[in-house]
A = this chain, B = another copy of it.
Amino acid sequence: MPRKVDHRARRELLADALLRLAATRGLEEVSLRHVAAEAGVSTGMVQHYFRTKDEMMTFALDMVMDRIRARSQAAMTSTVPRELVRSLLLQVLPLDETRRQENHVVLAYFAYAAVRPAIASGLREAAAQTRRFLADQLRAAGAFDLDPERAAAGLLALVDGLGLQLLSRQLAEEEAVAALDAQLELLFGRS
């Protein structure tokens, strides 16, 4: 029987090497050669799985999004809208080493999408989906004096901004969590 190579697992192994490098060197400096060295494989092997750095970045972003989604699903055990929203958003913020690495990839991808309009559509769809979820939770909580769409857009922007500020060390972790909680109080405290 021929040996079956698990493509997906190999690609994840390489994308994980990319994530580790992202947090120490910054993604703009990382090449396929660096990833090969970090993963302990040849550059040719990396090129077999990813023809370009762009392809690898897109794969790494999808992987990160899947992981955030899976963690969020596991964390969202409450049925109270405010608690649901809080546990989701805390999974996104870079509050531990794993999430810091993930946020580096997301931030690099945002910067990358900013100059390549064609690849921005996937990001736009993911953000719209999150905003719809947040707006639904605001409606479910009965915060009727708010425009739920605008409040959801503001909340997601606030979390993206906190992530950016945490990564670039403009804010301490406890300040970020306190700012998020103050916003949740503003939005859900009215329900």
Contact = CB atoms under 8 A, between A and B. Distances in A.
Interface stretch (A9-17, A37-45, A120-128): A120-128
> Dominant SS at the A interface?
helix
Given A115-B23, A165-B160, A171-B153, A110 B107 contact: yes
Interface string A34-78: 000000000000000000000000000000000000000000000
Contacts of A26: 111-112, 114-116
A1 interface: no
A17 to B, nearest CB: 16
A90 interface: no
A142 interface: no
A187 B104 CA distance: 31
Given A23-B115, A160-B161, A154 B179 contact: yes
* Interface size range of chain A in the complex: 35 or more
Report how many copies the assembly holds: 2
Contact of A127 (B28, B157, B165, B186): B165
Contacts of A178: 150, 153
A153 B165 CA distance: 10
Given A114-B107, A168-B123, A169-B120, A157 B150 contact: no
4 smallest beta-carbon distances between A and B, as pairs: A28-B28, A157-B161, A161-B161, A160-B161
Given A123-B169, A160-B161, A161-B164, 16 more contacts: A104-B111, A107-B110, A114-B169, A127-B171, A128-B170, A150-B178, A153-B171, A154-B179, A157-B158, A157-B160, A157-B165, A157-B171, A157-B176, A158-B158, A158-B161, A159-B161
